[in-house]
Structure 1
Amino acid sequence: MSFIDKAKAKAEELLGRAEEVYGESHGDAAAQVAGEAHRLEGEVELEEERAEEAAHGHREVRPTDEDGRTAG
């Protein structure tokens, strides 16, 4: 995954978070669910990249919390 792909995945995750918060604050369940879907899609893409890098020995796998941040 190139730098551009990583940036796109992170942008999708962040936009999903924003949409999710918008939906929560405005009582818009559809926006909240769509935002959650975008956030999760971005998180999955980033986790897949971390796993690929670890499989190829490019970096150490570090556990992440539910928000995708490295734990510890």
Structure 2
Amino acid sequence: LGVKDVTWLAPGGEEMTEEHWHDEHARCLGVLLDGRAQPTGILRSGEDATLLLILNAYHDAVSFRLPEVAEGSGWTCLL
């Protein structure tokens, strides 16, 4: 299915690279837990919710580009 259960994201919304991980000035990242991923060997998409957790350790606000979602759905902010 090509769905990752966990994807680490940089503030630009792209998947983190080795360079991102070693950037000593980086203070913000996101972790995407994709509800479509299945922990079993069943070859179909899951139906659980997808969660994006954004962590910011910088002393000021950081803009973060949200990943694209399927048409007809969107992100809901939970604090």
Please state which band the TM-score falls in when normalised by the shorter chain: under 0.3
- Per the normalisation by structure 1, the TM-score is 0.28
TM-score by length of 2: 0.26
Higher relative contact order (CA 8 A, sep 6+): 2
